[in-house]
Structures are given as C-alpha cells and as structure tokens.
Amino acid sequence: MTRRHSITGNGETWHGAARAAFALACFFPYPAVAIGQNTGLQMGQAAALAAVPFLMTRRPGRHLAAALLLTAPVVVSSFANILLDEAGSPDLAVKNLVALGLSFVVLWPASAVTRRSSFGGLLRIAAAAISVHAAVGLLQVYSFTKDEFPLLFLYTNPSFKSMQEWAPTYALYMKRPCGLFPEPSAMAASLGPWVVLFAGLLVDPSLSPRGSGGRAVRPGGAFALGGLLIVASRSGYIASFAACVSALLAGRAGHLVGAFSVKKYLACCAGLVVCGAAGLYAAAEVSSGYGERVDSSWGLRMASIRLGLTSNTGPRTLAFGVGPGQSTRIIQRDWDGPPIPKGQDDPAVWSLTVRYFMEMGLMGGAALAAVLGMAVRAVARSSAAYLGACCLLAWLVGVAATTSYMSIATIWLFLGLLLDWDRVFPPGRRHRGSSDADWGSSDAD
C-alpha cells in the first residue's frame, strides 16, 4: 500500500512539473525554433504538442471545443481559396494554416492548468513570468539611454519581425520597453489581463487561492511590476488597463472602507500617495507626444482595422475570407490610410480579431462569437463574475484593438482561464479560506 502511494505521488509530481513547465513556457514567445523561414515553434507550443497524446485519453471539454472552433474556419478558408484559385499565394496559405494551428493548440492543454486545483500554481507562474518581463523591461529602459538593445540574442522567432534588424532603429527612436515580447503593444495585450487579474485579487483577497500550507498567493508584487511595465511601454492599451483596474477598485470601495482599521488606513494613505505620484509621472510620460502618437500609431491602427472590416465585400470573401496570411498583401495593395512614417512597419491589420475575420470570413466571425459566448457564459455563471468581466474586457481590448500577434501563447492561455472561470470560481462558493491543491492533483474536465 505504501509503495502504491509512493508511485502515485511520483506520478502526480511529474504531472505537476509538466503543467508548470507548460504554463511558464506560454509566457515567453522568445526564443523559438525555426520551422521554415517565417514560422517559429515557441516553447509553449512545443509543450502543447507534446501534451496532445496524453490529452486524447481524456473526455473532450470546452477548451478542445474552442480550439476546434477557431481552427476549422482556417482549414475551410485555406482549401476554399486554393480550390477556387483565389489565393494570392497558396504556399503562404498553407504555412499560415500550420502557424495558426500551432497557436490554437495551446488552448487544449490549457485546461490542465486553468482548473481550480491548479489555479494557485498558475498564479505563481504568472507572477514569476511578469517579474522576469519587468526586469528585462527595466534593463531595456536603462540600455535605451545608451541607444542599445539588450539581450538581443534571446529575440529569435521567425514568426515575428526580425529584432536583430529592427533593434538599432528601436533603441534609437522608439525606446519603449517590451520585455521579452516583439513590441510594446503585444506585451501589453499579452500581460495586461493577467495584471488586471492580480489587481482584482489584491482588492479582494478572499478570491486568492491558498496552498497546501494555508499560504495565500500574494498578488501585490505582480500587479506593481506588471503595471509599471505596461505604463512604461506607453501603449494605447494603458487607457483600458486603467479603466479595468479603476472599475475593480470602485466595485470594492465600500467593502474596503468598512474593513479599514487605523493601521490599514494609514498604510492605504501612504500607498495612495505613492500610487498618485507614480500616476502623475505616468500621465506626463503618456501625454508627452500624445497627439503625434494618435496621428501615427493609433491613426494607422484604426485605418487598418477599418480597411480590414470592409475588405470582405464579395460573396466568396464574405463567406470564406481572403485566406490565411493574405490580409497583409491586400492591406498593402489597397492602403488608403495616413502616410506610413519612415521606419514604421508596412501596413497590416493591426487587430487580431479583425485580421482573423478578414482572412476567414463569416465562418471565422461565427467561430469568434461562439468562443466569446463560451467565455461570457463561464464568467456569468461564476461566483466572481465582476472580476471575470473586468478581466474579459481587458483581454478583448487586447485582441481587438491592441495586437495582431496570433501566435503569442500567453493570449490563448488567458482565454483558457476565462473558459474555466466558473470552475475556478464555482457558483455559490464562499472563497474566504478556500484551499488550493497542488499542481499534481487531477480534476475531471
């Protein structure tokens, strides 16, 4: 009996280590292994592929359904455009089919790390990853004062623009920290929802899971470091990020005031002074050159989104889209937005969801709506619906108006958490004092 327990314990330990490794890898799109000239296999994607044989023995659940819903329009659009001889570049369509499949496959094993029994471990992994990105961001801020881009050897991923080529211009003119992500907006859209989640756990500690020793997850450090990195990036995402955090604070204002003691009150006042000073500094930094950024960065972004939404006008393109990977070529051909500044990327659809709709048509739009509906339903059924709504909003702004990088696994891992929201926060459950099992436990999907 003792031996059987030991074997089971070792198996659970290995399962827990595998889950932790997968979750951690999802937060780092760099470095990646090249598979072809324009596709990179990230560590999170490789871990997801390795988990597939084991996941096939489990009962299908929401995460597999979401992955299949998002992948099916890509397959149909690829073959429809190739068979109708409408694909401008059939090879590019096939390559993007593979790349998008690698992106969406992350959703399936996400079900193993977003369940309630793994929630505490996932939060600790997310906090550690955010700390690493913040440390890299601070190093970048320092190096940019010397017109240098640090740790350039890590930025290897053929799926993204070559940082080796872009680094001199980036360090000389942009000077915006991005952590280990391809650019600031991609970083903000990827980490923003996680930082909003930590903010929610900070204002309502009863939602924080506890480890086997009763130790609660401490979200303060991850929120402070992640928020600092997002503010320093000067991304337009800051506005939605601040709105979500403010909504969380407003939602708990009455409870926080009622629970204050004199000691907590003085500590809060000190914290508000520090946060206020930091906020004024951030506002000054963000407002510096704001008009120029609106005309260039966000003006270009909105023009690309408008063009992407109005490109599917014919019956075929409306039904099946223009085909995976074809949107950039069409946007560059039909560009009628503001002039592209020197040194700026060539125009593309700078929105993940609009790019997906443009390339996959109404089938893609229906798939996006179905997956979003699954996430909304999970949030609405949970006992932490308000926090879930703020996190969902932060995620939506990121994928709809902040980044077009579909292959960043962090984005899909958070979607996996949203799909499991009512299991992480079960309906009717009292969260204060709730316990969180270790990574090795197994729940039914």
Q: Is 263 exposed, middle or buried (0-12, 13-18, 19+ CB in 10 A)?
A: exposed
List phi, psi (to 5°) of 93.
-65, -45
- How high is the pLDDT of residue 298? 67
Which residue is listed with tokens 């506002």?
283
- Note whether residue 6 is domain-resident: no
192 contacts: CB under 8 Å, gap ≥ 6: 230, 237, 240, 241, 394, 395, 397, 398, 402
> First-to-last CA distance in the chain?
28
Which residues contact residue 391 at a Cβ distance below 8 angstroms, ignoring those fewer than 6 apart? 193, 196, 197, 200, 244, 414, 418
pLDDT at position 78: 85
Whether 283 is covered by a domain: the verdict is no
Whether residue 444 lies inside any domain: the answer is no
pLDDT beneath 70: ranges in the chain? 1-12, 85-90, 210-217, 253-298, 337-346, 429-445
| Residue 440 counted as domain residue | no
Decide: 256 and 203 in contact? Cβ < 8 Å.
Answer: yes
Q: What is the pLDDT of residues 129-186, one digit of tens each?
A: 999 999 999 999 999 999 999 999 999 998 888 888 889 888 888 889 999 999 999 9
Written as one letter, the residue type at 267 is: A
Is 246 among the domain residues? yes
- What is the extent of the structural domain holding 64? 18-251+289-424
Q: Residue 172, SS3? A: helix
The reported pLDDT for the residue numbered 286 is 52
| Number of neighbouring beta carbons within 10 Å of residue 56 | 10
- Tell me whether residue 268 is in a domain: no
Q: Is residue 439 part of a domain?
A: no
Token pair of 293 as six digits: 């950024």
Contacts of 406 (CB under 8 A, 6+ apart): 99, 100, 103, 352, 355, 356
Number of domains in the chain: 1
pTM for the model: 0.86
Point out which residues pair with 41 in neighbouring strands: 33
Instruction: Give the SS3 label for residue 33.
Output: strand
Q: Under a CB-based contact definition with an 8 Å cutoff, are residues 321 and 359 in contact?
A: yes
Q: Is residue 242 part of a domain?
A: yes
